[in-house]
A and B are shown apart, each in its own frame.
Chain A
Amino acid sequence: MTQRPAPRPAPRKTPPPALKSKAGQPANAPCATCQKQQPRKVPPCDFDKLEFSCKHCGVPDKREIASVAFWLDQGRGKIMTNQKHSPNKRNPAVTDRFEVIDPDTIKVKASGGPGYSPGHPALTIQPPMSLGPVKVLRGPVHEVAVSYEPNWFKNRLANVTRIGFFAGLRQFFFPPPAVWVFTMAACGARPAPQRKAFYSWKHKVAVYPPDIFKIGLSLPSVRKREKASSWGKEGKVRYDNTSSSDTRGLARTSQSTKEEMRTSGNTELYRRTESVGNKHGTVTQTQQLGTIRGRDYSSDKYEASDAPDGRALATAKSFTFTRNGKDWTQSFKAAEFIEFLMNLRKQILGLIEFFKALGNKMPKIGWTFSVEVEVFAGSLEYEWGYKEWPKNHTVYKYYKVEVALTLVSAKAEIAFGLELLSAKAQVYGAVTGELKLTFSREANPDRTGPAGTVSVPPSVGGEIGVRGALGDWVEVVGKINAGFEGAATMELGPFSLKANFDLAPGKGTFTAKSKLFFSVTKQATLWEKRPIWARTIL
């Protein structure tokens, strides 16, 4: 029960005027009798109780409540209500509106009270702007058809091309309701000694779209590996730079690789073009690596095949979008999503440049790096829409998710030289990190537990070692802290998938164990933190 002070008798908003009296006088113009009397005597006109219900109220397996009622408690001088609230403390109590799914019929019923002036009580219905003009209905009981924006789906679908894949998709994640304002009003005049009046009650009806949507992602495992190495020997001019890529595991696809090498004077340019795709289209990755006057240059870019809408077709099977069971996938440029994923992958492959910069600080020791990445392998099915909650007057965000998705699986193998404790040393080893979401869950509005958020840290592995030149030696005190860090967070109502994934700084405490001198123990940073991702993916 909520307690709400009854509206004070004055000042009052004017209710819709009472109808003309039989005497033919305008409703608001006092007659001669009234003008003589001070104060004017108003005929009793008020109700005791107001009830809101939709067509599902009291229907088995639909809504357990018969109605939401508000009534005037003369003794307490308050308006009381039977509104029920969610047992989940995280769900805010909905007190100002009745929530339904389009299409529905709202029954408003006023009862009790001392009677009404002619044409009272009056129900004023203010639909959302796009759904028609304000209407006034007279009498104590009304049934009003309410709806959501018609054509809302097609209108938004038409936006997709313009606003792009992500914003286009997000439009359908639990759009806001159409809010109808219902105001039931009487004069609020009661015979003495009743001092409190109900007078007027404004309540909103929030209408939600009925659609159940589903997106599916089913992405093959594609591991991408990049390798670079440079081994130089002191006193020798010749350096050997190599780079290779190999892609494995993409089912039912062709793959081609083209390599070019140009040499002129002390400039070498290496160009490798790799195409991966299936019969519908291809995605091409081009990598360039050059050695110009002993320095490395590289670039990386992605291109679409020329086949019309090739990538959309190629990825149509990877991404699906349905509304009420009907497939609308073709309305989305899923290629944009795939491109986005490839960019995520590229951001991780960019680690190789980060490491190369480290390795080039002491080129005489030589370096070798490989970064192997898989992004978005596995499957995700997410179904969502609004549903009326059977236990009260609210609508809840229904969702059902089944996910077995590796957001990222990365492995970096490194070996490079640096100066550690005033001596040359080699850092070597491999680190792995994997962000994986595997669970299934369905919205349960009765649940009192935590909100629909799932967050997982990466599982990490590998190890990094350090060795100095032979003679005095380096001992690692404890463990070298290195590897990947971050989290994958999935929100379920509405859906969002966020990930952050970084290369943690390589840090450790090292002792240079001297054979003849003092040994020295020092903390050292082998490399600084390298942020890779911090973003919303969907």
Chain B
Amino acid sequence: MTIPVSTVDYLNVSIHGYACEVFVNRAPILRTPVDAPYTAIPSVSEWLVGGDNEIAVRIDAIAPPAATADPLSPRRLIVQRCVGPLGEIVPAGEDQPIDGLTYAPAPDDPTPTLPLRIAYEFRLPQGPTWAWQTAARLSLDAATTAELLMFLDALHADLVFGDIPGLLSRQRIKFAELAPLYGMTPASARAGLLQQFTELSKDGAWTVEPLRPDDVVLHLCCDGRVVEPRTRDDRPVLRGQAADGNAWSLPVFISRVDGMFEVVR
């Protein structure tokens, strides 16, 4: 008997000396600090589509040259697309890159004009079509912004009141599309979220940061089909403290599907 090994697409990101934002098909995946090395392996299957895909990096700032070069922590900008077994640890250095991008200007190259965008494209065979791909294109006019803030406020209220069924009802698409990618069924994922919430909110020790509209920045991405709300300092808008003293957060990506706002990622 062989159990089919499910795999996941991920990026092997290793950046130092550049403040960047990394995108998959124009969806923001992560941001790096200019003054510290950054390595991470975010999984991105839910942002890849059948056909043409794009991985891009926007460089916003470049660190000044170091007084002494540290060969064990060099300046670099590497983003590789990899595939690996879901739920397994791929030891660092054993990633199997399929393709990727590297930014390594020569020492005498002129300083680029910032922000600098670097991108490459690749083709994947036909796969699923995600809800966000066909979602309505938004423009962040006053009416849409107000509507998005109302939707965020509803999510916020679900969290404040601990209404997990309410929260799940607004994440229907996300759970339907992501659970199979990450080895779950939508039902087991919903049960998992409820169990996690029970632990995080034990003894009623669950707090939710107030939603401050003046601190919410709506980032329009994926050609206008997806919105990611973040605070001014790029933190998730929905966040708070859990019973164990740690911080919790719920990053969300929102699309208008069939006329309704939905959490799609």
Where the two chains meet, the residues of A that have a C-beta atom closer than 8 Å to any C-beta of B are 365-366, 411, 415, 417, 424-426, 428-432, 459, 461-463, 465, 467-476, 478-479, 511, 513, 515-522
Contacts and interface: CB of A to CB of B under 8 A. Distances in A.
A476 B178 contact: no
Nearest to A417: B89
B91 interface: yes
Contacts of B86: 470-471
A517 B196 contact: yes
A459 B68 CA distance: 10
Contacts of B218: none
B84 interface: yes
B92 A517 contact: no
Nearest to A368: B91
A465 B95 CA distance: 14
Nearest to A364: B89
24 contacts: A366-B91, A415-B92, A417-B89, A426-B92, A428-B91, A467-B40, A467-B41, A467-B92, A469-B89, A470-B41, A470-B43, A470-B84, A470-B89, A471-B43, A471-B87, A474-B40, A479-B37, A515-B178, A516-B174, A517-B196, A519-B249, A519-B251, A520-B246, A520-B249
B226 to A, nearest CB: 16
Residue picked from A366, A515, A517, most chain B C-beta under 10 Å: A515
Contact of A479 (B30, B36, B71, B178): B36
Contacts of B85: 470
Contacts of B37: 463, 465, 479
Given A411-B72, A432-B72, A475-B30, 10 more contacts: A424-B89, A461-B72, A462-B70, A467-B39, A467-B90, A472-B182, A476-B40, A518-B197, A518-B200, A518-B250
Residue picked from B87, B93, B184, most chain A C-beta under 10 Å: B87
Nearest to B41: A467
Contacts of B70: 432, 461-462
B193 A463 contact: no
Contact of B43 (A430, A511, A515, A521): A515
A469 B88 contact: yes
Contacts of A366: 91
Contacts of B46: 515
A517 B193 contact: yes
Interface in B94-136: none
A434 to B, nearest CB: 11
Interface string B30-71: 100100111111110010000000000000000000001011
A371 to B, nearest CB: 14
Interface string B190-203: 00110011001000
Contact of B182 (A424, A461, A471, A474): A471
The majority secondary structure among interface residues of chain A is strand
B256 to A, nearest CB: 22
Contacts of B30: 475
B78 interface: no
Residue picked from A415, A473, A519, most chain B C-beta under 10 Å: A473
A363 to B, nearest CB: 13
A462 B87 contact: no
B46 to A, nearest CB: 7
A426 B89 contact: yes
Contacts of A470: 8, 10, 41, 43, 84-90
B145 interface: no
A467 B196 CA distance: 22
B80 to A, nearest CB: 13
B257 interface: no
B100 to A, nearest CB: 17
Contacts of A462: 70, 72-73
Contact of B189 (A431, A516, A522): A516
Contacts of B38: 476
A516 B182 contact: yes
A513 B250 contact: no
A516 B175 contact: yes
A241 B175 CA distance: 43
A516 B192 CA distance: 9
A536 B232 CA distance: 52
Contacts of B192: 516-517
Contacts of A417: 89
Nearest to A432: B72
Contacts of A415: 91-92
B224 interface: no
B63 to A, nearest CB: 13
Nearest to B90: A470
Given A471-B43, A479-B37, A518-B200, A465 B92 contact: yes
B198 to A, nearest CB: 12
Contacts of B92: 415, 426, 428-429, 465, 467
A463 B87 contact: no
Contacts of A431: 72
Interface in B180-218: 181-184, 189, 192-193, 196-197, 200
